[in-house]
């Protein structure tokens, strides 16, 4: 398992949290971002590591970036781009009649992006 290849508890913990966040909600951890306590507790319990290790992990930008790149390569995650925007537009047009509200369309689009392992951009980018 890739998580176990990390030497320090903080790196095992951070790598696992990064992977969880990319799968759902669909974006990577950031230094300024508040991480949901239930997620931290769940990962800590699974790895049998104290949750305090996330603070140490959060301070090391290069480590987070390296882990993000590795996860993207391992599991096929991609950044949102104009090409992906075109793919999603083509995906949504034949199904437009299924959504009765803009919110329903947005939720379906977000779910499709997660299914395709696209890292979610800022909502303003999706709206364009």
33: left (phi over 0), alpha (psi -120 to 50) or beta: beta
DSSP 95: G
Are 72 and 108 part of one and the same domain? no
Residues 26 and 84 in one domain: no
Do residues 7 and 30 both lie within one domain?
yes
Q: Which pTM value belongs to this model?
A: 0.79
Same domain, 60 and 11: yes
Range of the domain at 12: 3-76
What integer pLDDT is reported at residue 29 of this predicted model?
Answer: 77
Average pLDDT over the chain, rounded to whole? Answer: 85
Report how far apart, in Å, the C-alpha atoms of 111 and of each of 11, 116, 118 are: 29, 9, 10
Residues 34, 67 within the same domain: yes
**Percent over 70 (pLDDT), the chain:** 89
pLDDT of residue 125: 65
Count of domains in the chain? 2
End-to-end CA distance of the chain: 39
The pLDDT score that the predictor gives to residue 88 is 94
In this predicted structure, the answer to whether residue 128 has a pLDDT above a threshold of 60 is no
- CA nearest 42: which of 62, 20, 75? 20
Within this chain, do residues 42 and 83 fall inside the same structural domain, yes or no?
Answer: no
Residue 19 pLDDT exceeds 80: yes
Residue 95 has pLDDT above 90, yes or no: no
92 and 120 fall within a common domain: yes
* 27-68 tens-digit pLDDT: 887 766 677 888 888 998 998 988 777 777 777 777 888 889
State mean pLDDT over 3-27. Answer: 84
Q: Are the C-beta atoms of 11 and 57 separated by less than 8 Å?
A: yes
């Amino acid at each position: 398992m890739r998580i176990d290849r990390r030497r320090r508890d903080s790196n095992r913990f951070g790598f696992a949290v990064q992977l969880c966040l990319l799968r759902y909600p669909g974006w990577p951890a950031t230094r300024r971002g508040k991480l949901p306590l239930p997620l931290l507790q769940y990962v800590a319990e699974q790895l049998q590591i104290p949750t305090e290790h996330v603070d140490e992990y959060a301070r090391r930008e290069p480590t987070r970036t390296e882990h993000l790149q590795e996860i993207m390569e391992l599991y096929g995650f991609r950044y949102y781009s104009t090409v992906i925007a075109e793919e999603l537009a083509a995906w949504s047009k034949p199904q437009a009649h299924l959504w009765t509200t803009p919110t329903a369309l947005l939720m379906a689009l977000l779910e499709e992006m997660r299914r395709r392992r696209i890292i979610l951009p800022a909502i303003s980018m999706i709206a364009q």
